[in-house]
Amino acid sequence: MGFLLKKKDSRKRIEKEIGKLINSKSIEENKKRLKDRLKDCDDIVYKEFTAGKEQIFKFLLVYTDGMSRGDLLNNAVLNALMIHAREVPPDAMEPGEELYRLVRYGGLPASELTDNDNLEDAILSILIGDAVLFIDGTEKSIIIGAKGWPKRSVSEPNTESLIRGPRDGFTETFRENTALVRRRIRDHRLKLKQLRVGRRSFTDVGVMYIEDIVKPELVEEVLQRIKTIEIDAIMESGYIEQLIEDNYLSPFPQINITERPDEVAGSLYEGRVAILVDNSPFALIVPTTLNSLFQSPEDYYDRWYISTILRFIRYFASVLSLLLPALYIAITSFQPDILPAKFVISIAAARQGIPFPAIIEAFLMEVTFELLREAGLRLPVPIGSAIGIVGGIVIGTAAVDAGIVSPIMVIIVAVTAISSFSIPNYNLSVGFRMLRFFLMAIAGVFGLYGIMLGIVLILSHLVKLKSFGIPYMSPYVSSPASDLKDSIIRVPTFLMGKRPVLLARNIIRMKNNRQLINQLEQEKDGNDKK
């Protein structure tokens, strides 16, 4: 009796030192301690069963109903131990460590088995969808990978649709997302470092990078920022984005988000780092630049001149989205003489009878359109699209007929809205929408001089802004001329032989195959002449 008490005191001392509850050799005690910790958790299943023919051995299988695969547990655990174990000769199994080794290495036909010796890790495994098998007579337990919660199938991303390109997108399942990236990068140098963030959620967060391309200091910086996060729960990758970005006051996103595995793979090949978060279909890519936010994966699937034209259109659309309402306010209110006389007369005739100044008129229409946009996003898809179209037409027409706004203002708001939709990154388009109101306000006070002042302030902010140590305006600043091959103008693919110098340590991407093709053609012509 004294020996048992002494052993129990020793276990308590060990538990206090390591900060975890270690397993007991008795499955009854393990079950009691589990139920104490998981009290009022009615979805936890405790399956006690016995195995053996002449000598009976006790087992306890614990898992969460709905989170674990029942077919795997039935076939790989219960069927293997309760039925097939009876075929093993009685003298082949001994209770304790020998039985544990026999079950662990020869009795469970499951691919993912992990040794465990404490209840804290066992409880966490049970709550994330795995099952834990306790064996009477040993302090060790076996964690069985049996995750099988309800999940959404892989489908095309709704927020980043393409005409040409892959149709698969990330889901809310962490392991499926890592597999979608590995499918595109079949290289042993693609690394995945997995962390658990959140004191209560223990959310899986994966940091992916290609070892011989990425700069080690970038990986270390990303890991260090994630490890400093102290929060109860990570519900979505947006939590990580907001907690590790450089400047939280900036309207410009310093971390790119995407639902597309091909965009993540392309970014990794450039020397960037991807962050995948469980329960989120959006991956984070760091560092990011303003130039990369205007790019689309489709740019690299189409021919170079098509991509260049599309990029020019996006940059032009962003300028219209940012400046058009402010220019209307400034010109109509302060500097109408810069326009041709006929055009000024036409605008004045259209504004005749409007009771509000241009700045109030513009703000009314812009706010109304933002309300329609928000309503369209929150309503069901079939209704939302109809509300956006019908609401815009009806309200615009009614406002013009009522003499509240001028027809030219409706046209400007419509062109501005269409231009904002041309920006491929949603967070960037939101930033432009915020700055649009700022420029409208300053244009209403100072006219064109206010717009110029606002542009100077925005450009000054962009030049100073950094994303994980990389200038936000690169490759237009602080980058060699070779990086400009993939900026507004996208040169032919055979000329893009180098990765961005500021990102990668191994900058050689490919050899100029056009030279090789010409060399082969010359050799072929020479052979034909002979």
DSSP secondary structure, 216-282, as one string: HHHHHHHHHHHHT---S---SHHHHHHHH-S-TT-SS-SSEEES-HHHHHHHHHHT-EEEEETT-S-
pLDDT at 87: 63
Does the structure show a pLDDT above 50 at 94?
yes
Q: Is the domain of 311 the same as that of 369?
A: yes
**Do 436 and 316 belong to one domain?**
yes
Residues 137 and 203 both lie in one domain: no
Which pLDDT does position 466 carry in this prediction? Answer: 95
- Residue 459 covered by a domain: no
Write b or e for each residue in 206-220: b if 16 or more Cβ atoms lie within 10 A of its Cβ, otherwise e. bbbbbeebbbeebbe
Look-up: residue for tokens 């237009």? 476
Interatomic CA distance for residues 445 and 330, integer angstroms? 8
The residue with greater pLDDT, 378 or 190, is: 190
Residues 191 and 81 grouped into a single domain: no
Residue ending a domain, among 235, 261, 288, is: 288
Whether residue 264 is contained in a domain is answered as: yes
Is position 109 within any domain? Answer: yes
- Per the CB < 8 A criterion, the answer to whether 431 and 251 are in contact is yes
| pLDDT tens, position by position, 104-133 | 888 888 889 999 999 999 999 999 999 999
Q: pLDDT tens across 318-348, in order?
A: 999 999 999 999 998 888 888 888 888 888 8
On whether the CB atoms of residues 486 and 300 are closer than 8 A, the answer is no
Stretch among 76-85, 172-181, 310-319 having the lowest mean pLDDT = 76-85
Q: Which of 397, 429, 449 is the last residue of a domain?
A: 449
Q: Are residues 327 and 387 in the same domain?
A: yes
What is the Cα–Cα distance from 449 to 171, expressed in whole angstroms?
Answer: 48
| Same-domain status, 310 and 181 | no
Tokens at 440, concatenated: 């409208």
Could you tell me if 434 and 313 lie in one domain?
A: yes
Window from 48-57, 160-169, 278-287, 310-319 with minimum mean pLDDT? 48-57
- Using the predicted structure, report yes or no on whether residue 246 has a pLDDT greater than 60: yes
Q: Give residue 163's pLDDT.
A: 87
**Domain final residue, candidates 414, 429, 449:** 449
Q: Mean pLDDT over residues 503-514, rounded?
A: 82
How much is the mean pLDDT over the chain? 87
442 and 375, same domain (yes or no): yes
What is the per-residue pLDDT across 70-87, written as a single tens digit (0 to 9) for each? 889 998 888 888 876 666
Q: What digits encode the pLDDT tens for the residues 475-489? A: 998 888 888 899 999
Quick check: bond before 500 cis, omega within 30?
no
Pairing of strands 470-471, 273-277: unpaired
> Do residue 358 and residue 412 come from a single domain?
yes
- Range 229-235 average pLDDT: 95
Q: Is the dihedral of CA 415, 419, 421, 422 positive or negative?
A: positive
Q: Please report the pLDDT score of residue 399 as a whole number.
A: 82
The reply to whether 237 and 340 lie within a common domain is no
Q: What is the mean pLDDT of residues 409-430?
A: 90
Q: Which of 165-179, 335-349, 416-430 has the lowest mean pLDDT?
A: 335-349
Which residue in 187, 181, 237 sits closest to 427, CA to CA?
A: 237
Q: Give the per-residue pLDDT at 3.
A: 44
By residue range, what is the domain housing residue 338? Answer: 304-449
* Residue 162 placed within a domain: no
Band (254; pLDDT cuts 50, 70, 90): very high
Residue 314 and residue 444 in one domain: yes
User: What is residue 510's predicted lDDT score, i.e. its pLDDT?
Assistant: 83
The reported pLDDT for the residue numbered 90 is 55
Kindly state the tokens that stand for 449.
Answer: 């001089």
pTM of the model: 0.88
- Residue 210 falls inside a structural domain: yes
In total, how many domains does the chain have?
3
Q: What is the number of alpha carbons within 13 Å of residue 446 lying toward its C-beta?
A: 10
Same domain, 309 and 437: yes
Tell me if 101 is assigned to some domain.
Answer: yes
Predicted local distance difference test score (pLDDT) of residue 335 = 85
Give the CA diameter of the chain.
107
Which two structure tokens, joined as six digits, stand for 101?
Answer: 């080794």
Establish if 501 belongs to a structural domain: no
Q: Is residue 219 part of a domain?
A: yes
